[in-house]
Amino acid sequence: MLKINENYLNIKGSYLFAGIAKKVREFSAANPDKKLISMGIGDVTLPLADAVVAEIKAAADEQGRADTFHGYGPEQGYDFLKNAIKDYYLKNTGVELSLNEIFVSDGAKSDVGNMLDIFSKDNVVLIPDPVYPVYVDTNVMDGRKIVYLNANQENGFLPMPDETVDCGIIYLCSPNNPTGAVYSRDQLKKWVDYANSKGAVILFDAAYEAFISDPLLPRSIFEIDGARTCAIEFCSLSKTAGFTGTRCGYTIVPKALSVGGVKLNPLWLRRQTTKFNGVSYIVQKGASAVFSEAGIEQSRKNIEYYRNNAKIIMQTMDELNITYTGGKNSPYVWLKCPSNMGSWEFFDLLLEKANVVGTPGEGFGKNGEGFFRLTSFSNYENTLEAMERIKNILK
Ligand code: PLP
């Protein structure tokens, strides 16, 4: 008889967003005159840059003519986009990549999950808590043993390696979702040394690297000596250039990375060419425009817009004496709920008294209890209004 993958029965339901949606629905039904402001969204709100839209339109026209039509493309991405990514890496991080270390994908979420195909289910996995829930769920689906790394106020939400713990796979997310905390070079060096000494691989999620404003902070793990023998990096145009609905990301698998004498780069290539169709030509053309001079300038302006929203949130937290991480190098502000309130208690207070919706921290892991995530992805006017309302109820 057919057997299912019973590990799926062990995945926790997505209570967080379902719970938020239910509470918002009920509140709105009972208070139809109240205007709610969402400060909890993890999606961008500004549209694609003009340079990207122009390139997408031009590529669509190409697809409509026999002499410029593109059929099946290379699953790992066209060279025109990989060259643009290579140049961006060099300018942005000083890291020199070769083209066959770059894999274009439909986003970081898919690659973070799919990468597990090339690793045994016997590996012990280290996952920070709190963190982006996809790391946990994709490992539960495979039945891997998870060891949690406690991220808390004491360690600035940046847990460091424990030499006594053995593991195979390590997830690091910097700038972090949800805490906005960013590892320094020295801290990442310790992780790289630990991973190399254990023969482990770091899956480094750099989806928010474009939000780093401090020039001293690393934007890529490959800025750290030794990372090419222990790390894979995931990056995304979702937040960098508003591609959440257009879909494009890229993953770097160094050629120097091997496990027990087996190189991981050709393994990932084999996986992708077998199970992944690649990103459409049209989207890849649009993505390449993100890295053009005009595209970089237009994307930078959008990030500045979100950064300004983050500044307004941080100023409000400062005025209210609420401690927080993030905001400066991240679109997320992670705050300690005032008066030792629980995450959901604070959620209810903001919803009912300020008509503002945020995200309770405990949805990202047990260490998120008592914390709350606000995001800078709303528009400027709503961010100002939401912060005024929060000030009014908490002063
Ligand atoms: N990684 C992190 C840490 C995220 O927060 C998100 C989205 O919120 C993603 C990856 C997903 O990125 P993508 O849209 O490229 O799949």
232 alpha carbon to ligand 1 midpoint, in Å?
Answer: 15
Distances (CA, A) of 354 to 18, 38, 350, 387, 388: 21, 11, 5, 9, 9
Position 191 scores a pLDDT of 98
Q: How confident is the model at residue 279 (pLDDT cuts 50, 70, 90)?
A: very high
User: pLDDT digit string (tens) for 227-264?
Assistant: 999 999 999 999 999 999 999 999 999 999 999 999 99
Q: Is the CB of 236 inside a 6 Å radius of any atom of ligand 1?
A: yes
DSSP, collapsed to helix, strand or coil, labels residue 374 as strand
Q: Has residue 375 got a pLDDT over 90? A: yes
Ligand 1, atom 12: closest residue by C-alpha: 108
Mean pLDDT, range 308-315, rounded to an integer: 98
Q: Is the CB of 177 inside a 6 Å radius of any atom of ligand 1?
A: yes
Position 16 scores a pLDDT of 83
Q: Is the CB of 42 inside a 6 Å radius of any atom of ligand 1?
A: yes
Percentage above 70 pLDDT, the chain: 100
Q: Has residue 15 got a pLDDT over 80? A: no
Amino acid found at 65:
R
109 alpha carbon to ligand 1 midpoint, in Å?
Answer: 5
Position 72 scores a pLDDT of 97
Cα separation, 352 vs 31, whole angstroms: 10
110 alpha carbon to ligand 1 midpoint, in Å?
Answer: 9
237 alpha carbon to ligand 1 midpoint, in Å?
Answer: 9
Cα separation, 49 vs 126, whole angstroms: 37
Give, as one character, the DSSP assignment of residue 4: -
User: pLDDT digit string (tens) for 327-340?
Assistant: 999 999 999 999 99
Looking at the DSSP bridge assignments, the partners of residue 102 are 252
Position 34 scores a pLDDT of 95
Q: Has residue 42 got a pLDDT over 80? A: yes
Helices (H), the chain: 15-30, 50-63, 79-93, 108-114, 134-142, 185-198, 237-241, 264-275, 281-290, 293-319, 343-349, 380-394
Position 295 scores a pLDDT of 96
Ligand 1, atom 8: closest residue by C-alpha: 42
Position 5 scores a pLDDT of 96
Q: Is the CB of 370 inside a 6 Å radius of any atom of ligand 1?
A: no
Q: Out of 104, 177, 212, 251, give the residue to mutate to test ligand 1, the one with the largest number of ligand atoms within 8 Å of its CB.
A: 177
Mean pLDDT, range 172-200, rounded to an integer: 98
Amino acid found at 93:
T
Q: What is the pTM of this model?
A: 0.97
244 alpha carbon to ligand 1 midpoint, in Å?
Answer: 9
394 alpha carbon to ligand 1 midpoint, in Å?
Answer: 32
Q: Is the CB of 107 inside a 6 Å radius of any atom of ligand 1?
A: yes
31 alpha carbon to ligand 1 midpoint, in Å?
Answer: 33
